[in-house]
Amino acid sequence: MNHPVQVHPEAMQALLALGKAAHAGTLPTVTHQLVHLRVSQINGCSVCVDMHARELKEAGEKDERIWAVGAWRESPYFTDAERAALALAECVTRIADRPDPVPDQVWDEAADHYDEQELSSLLLTIAGINVWNRLNGAIRQPVGSW
Protein backbone atom coordinates (compact mmCIF):
# COMPACT_ATOMS: atom_id res chain seq x y z
CA MET A 1 0.00 0.00 0.00
CA ASN A 2 1.01 3.61 -0.26
CA HIS A 3 2.56 5.08 2.86
CA PRO A 4 -0.15 6.48 5.17
CA VAL A 5 1.41 9.95 5.03
CA GLN A 6 1.03 9.84 1.24
CA VAL A 7 -2.61 8.84 1.58
CA HIS A 8 -3.17 11.52 4.24
CA PRO A 9 -0.82 14.44 3.44
CA GLU A 10 -2.06 16.28 6.53
CA ALA A 11 -0.47 13.51 8.60
CA MET A 12 2.86 14.17 6.89
CA GLN A 13 2.52 17.87 7.73
CA ALA A 14 1.70 17.03 11.35
CA LEU A 15 4.64 14.65 11.73
CA LEU A 16 7.03 17.13 10.12
CA ALA A 17 5.70 19.83 12.45
CA LEU A 18 6.28 17.53 15.45
CA GLY A 19 9.85 16.94 14.32
CA LYS A 20 10.42 20.65 13.83
CA ALA A 21 9.03 21.42 17.29
CA ALA A 22 11.25 18.74 18.86
CA HIS A 23 14.34 20.25 17.21
CA ALA A 24 13.44 23.85 18.11
CA GLY A 25 15.14 23.76 21.50
CA THR A 26 18.73 23.47 22.60
CA LEU A 27 19.00 19.67 22.61
CA PRO A 28 22.00 18.88 20.38
CA THR A 29 21.11 17.69 16.89
CA VAL A 30 23.41 14.69 17.27
CA THR A 31 21.43 13.62 20.36
CA HIS A 32 18.23 13.64 18.30
CA GLN A 33 19.98 11.60 15.61
CA LEU A 34 21.42 9.07 18.07
CA VAL A 35 17.97 8.62 19.61
CA HIS A 36 16.38 8.23 16.16
CA LEU A 37 18.88 5.52 15.30
CA ARG A 38 18.56 3.64 18.60
CA VAL A 39 14.76 3.68 18.64
CA SER A 40 14.69 2.56 15.01
CA GLN A 41 17.04 -0.32 15.86
CA ILE A 42 14.75 -1.41 18.70
CA ASN A 43 11.68 -1.24 16.46
CA GLY A 44 13.38 -2.98 13.55
CA CYS A 45 12.66 -0.15 11.11
CA SER A 46 15.21 -0.68 8.36
CA VAL A 47 14.26 2.53 6.53
CA CYS A 48 14.92 4.64 9.61
CA VAL A 49 18.05 2.73 10.68
CA ASP A 50 19.50 3.34 7.24
CA MET A 51 18.40 6.98 7.10
CA HIS A 52 19.56 7.99 10.56
CA ALA A 53 22.89 6.16 10.32
CA ARG A 54 23.52 8.05 7.07
CA GLU A 55 22.50 11.35 8.69
CA LEU A 56 24.96 10.77 11.51
CA LYS A 57 27.71 9.99 8.99
CA GLU A 58 26.87 13.10 6.95
CA ALA A 59 26.98 15.16 10.16
CA GLY A 60 30.57 14.04 10.65
CA GLU A 61 30.07 11.32 13.25
CA LYS A 62 32.72 8.61 13.28
CA ASP A 63 31.77 5.13 12.13
CA GLU A 64 32.65 3.73 15.55
CA ARG A 65 29.96 5.84 17.21
CA ILE A 66 27.35 4.96 14.61
CA TRP A 67 28.11 1.23 14.81
CA ALA A 68 28.12 1.30 18.60
CA VAL A 69 24.67 2.83 19.11
CA GLY A 70 23.12 -0.61 19.58
CA ALA A 71 25.65 -1.38 22.33
CA TRP A 72 25.95 2.10 23.84
CA ARG A 73 26.14 0.81 27.42
CA GLU A 74 29.36 -1.10 26.74
CA SER A 75 30.85 1.46 24.37
CA PRO A 76 33.29 4.24 25.31
CA TYR A 77 32.08 6.52 22.51
CA PHE A 78 29.19 8.30 24.21
CA THR A 79 28.97 11.11 26.73
CA ASP A 80 27.07 10.71 29.97
CA ALA A 81 24.36 13.01 28.59
CA GLU A 82 24.01 10.91 25.43
CA ARG A 83 23.83 7.76 27.54
CA ALA A 84 21.03 9.32 29.60
CA ALA A 85 19.15 10.22 26.41
CA LEU A 86 19.59 6.72 24.98
CA ALA A 87 18.41 5.09 28.23
CA LEU A 88 15.32 7.29 28.28
CA ALA A 89 14.67 6.54 24.60
CA GLU A 90 14.82 2.80 25.27
CA CYS A 91 12.42 3.03 28.21
CA VAL A 92 9.89 5.20 26.40
CA THR A 93 10.07 2.96 23.32
CA ARG A 94 9.65 -0.20 25.37
CA ILE A 95 7.01 1.35 27.62
CA ALA A 96 5.10 -1.90 28.19
CA ASP A 97 8.14 -4.01 29.08
CA ARG A 98 8.16 -3.15 32.80
CA PRO A 99 5.69 -2.15 35.51
CA ASP A 100 7.39 1.25 35.83
CA PRO A 101 7.83 2.38 32.21
CA VAL A 102 10.47 5.00 33.03
CA PRO A 103 12.20 4.15 36.32
CA ASP A 104 13.14 7.09 38.52
CA GLN A 105 16.83 6.32 38.08
CA VAL A 106 16.54 6.70 34.28
CA TRP A 107 14.46 9.86 34.56
CA ASP A 108 16.72 11.40 37.21
CA GLU A 109 19.83 10.71 35.13
CA ALA A 110 18.25 12.40 32.12
CA ALA A 111 17.12 15.34 34.29
CA ASP A 112 20.69 15.71 35.58
CA HIS A 113 21.84 16.41 32.02
CA TYR A 114 18.88 18.14 30.41
CA ASP A 115 16.62 21.00 31.48
CA GLU A 116 12.84 20.89 31.11
CA GLN A 117 12.88 22.25 27.55
CA GLU A 118 15.51 19.73 26.49
CA LEU A 119 13.69 16.85 28.21
CA SER A 120 10.52 17.92 26.39
CA SER A 121 12.40 17.96 23.08
CA LEU A 122 13.83 14.56 23.87
CA LEU A 123 10.41 13.09 24.65
CA LEU A 124 8.93 14.61 21.48
CA THR A 125 11.73 13.21 19.34
CA ILE A 126 11.32 9.76 20.92
CA ALA A 127 7.56 9.84 20.32
CA GLY A 128 7.99 11.08 16.76
CA ILE A 129 10.47 8.43 15.67
CA ASN A 130 8.29 5.74 17.25
CA VAL A 131 5.38 6.92 15.08
CA TRP A 132 7.51 6.77 11.93
CA ASN A 133 8.85 3.32 12.89
CA ARG A 134 5.36 1.96 13.46
CA LEU A 135 4.01 3.32 10.19
CA ASN A 136 6.99 2.01 8.23
CA GLY A 137 6.89 -1.36 9.97
CA ALA A 138 3.17 -1.82 9.43
CA ILE A 139 3.47 -1.42 5.67
CA ARG A 140 6.92 -3.05 5.44
CA GLN A 141 8.47 0.07 3.97
CA PRO A 142 11.70 -1.04 2.24
CA VAL A 143 14.98 0.83 2.44
CA GLY A 144 15.47 3.16 -0.53
CA SER A 145 11.78 3.45 -1.33
CA TRP A 146 11.42 7.13 -0.44
Give ∠ CA 40-71-144 in degrees, rounded to 5.
Answer: 30
**What pLDDT score was predicted for residue 60?**
97
**What pLDDT score was predicted for residue 14?**
98
**What pLDDT score was predicted for residue 144?**
76
**What pLDDT score was predicted for residue 55?**
97
pTM: 0.96
State how far the Cα of 41 lies from the Cα of 66, in Å rounded to an integer: 12
**What pLDDT score was predicted for residue 146?**
58
Give the chain's residues under pLDDT 50: none
**What pLDDT score was predicted for residue 142?**
83
To 10 degrees, the CA torsion angle through 45, 51, 54, 56?
A: -80
C-beta separation of 120 from 109 below 8 A: no
Residues 6 or more apart whose CB falls under 8 angstroms from that of 55 comprise 33, 36
**What pLDDT score was predicted for residue 28?**
97
Residue 62 CA: distances (Å) to CA of 3, 52, 54, 58: 32, 13, 11, 10
**What pLDDT score was predicted for residue 145?**
66
C-beta separation of 122 from 144 below 8 A: no
**What pLDDT score was predicted for residue 143?**
86
